[in-house]
Amino acid sequence: MNDKFFDLKKEKQDRIINAAMKVFALNGYRNASTDDIVKEAGISKGLLFHYFESKIGVYTFLFDYSARYTTLELKSNVDSDLTDIFEIMRQIEFSKLLTIRSHPYMQMFLKSCMKEDIFEALAAIEEKRTALSELYDSIYMQIDPSNLVEDADKDMLLGIIKFTTEGLMSRYFREECYQSSEFYEDVTAYIGMLEKISKRTNL
C-alpha cells in the first residue's frame, strides 16, 4: 500500500474506503471486482492500483483499517468492569454504531472477513483477524451469568443476540434502507426484549 493515499483529502479517502468496503461486504473476496470498486468510488482503476497495487492490497488495507478502528471504539466504549451480558452487548453495539456513522459498511465487511474461505484473503489477514476475535472473546469473558434466569444458558443467549444483530445488519444493508440511528434503535430493542425474558427480577 502506498502511504501517499493518506495525502489525499479526507473526503476522497473515505469515498474510496467506503466504496471498497461495500463491494467486498456484499460480494465476498472471490466475487468482489475492482471494476465495481472504482465505479462506486468514482475513480480510475489506475488510481486504485497506484495506491493499493492489487485487489488483495485493497482488501488487506481495508481489514487492517477496519480492525484498528473497531478495536479503538471497543476499548474506548466497553467498560472492562461490566459483567451484565445485556449492558455489554449494548456497549458493543454502540461501539459499532460509532464506526458505521463514518463507514456504513465497515461492520458488514468485517463480518464477511470473519467468514472468508479464500486462502489468499485468509492468509493476508489471519494475524489481525485472530487479534480482533480474541478481543471480542475477552469482552465476552467478562459476562457473569448469575443474574440470568435459571434455565438461561449464557453461551446460547450470547449466540442469539449475535445472530439477531448480524441478521438485522444484513437486512438493513441489502434492502438499502440503512440509517445508523434507526439500526441502533432496532438492535437495542431486541436486546431489551431478550433481557426481559432472560434476566432475573428478584436481585
User: What's the confidence (pLDDT) of residue 34?
Assistant: 97
Q: Read off the C-alpha cell for 88.
A: 455489554
User: What's the confidence (pLDDT) of residue 180?
Assistant: 76
User: What's the confidence (pLDDT) of residue 177?
Assistant: 57
HEC letters along 3-70: HHHHHCCHHHHHHHHHHHHHHHHHHHHHHCCHHHHHHHHCCCHHHHHHHHCCHHHHHHHHHHHHHHHH
Q: Which amino acid is at 97?
A: L
User: What's the confidence (pLDDT) of residue 57?
Assistant: 96
Q: For all residues of the chain together, what is the average pLDDT?
A: 92
User: What's the confidence (pLDDT) of residue 174?
Assistant: 72
Q: Map out the domains of the chain with their CATH numbers.
A: 55-198 (1.10.357)
- The residue behind cell 493499493 is 52
Q: How far apart are CA 55 and CA 78, in angstroms?
A: 34
Question: 85-138 pLDDT, tens per residue?
Answer: 999 999 999 999 999 989 999 999 999 999 888 999 999 999 999 999 999 999
User: What's the confidence (pLDDT) of residue 176?
Assistant: 62
Question: What percentage of the chain exceeds 90 in pLDDT?
Answer: 80
pLDDT over threshold 70, residue 203:
no
Q: Which range, of 13-27, 67-81, 160-174, averages the lowest pLDDT?
A: 160-174
Question: What percentage of the chain exceeds 70 in pLDDT?
Answer: 97
pLDDT range class, residue 145, cuts 50, 70, 90: very high
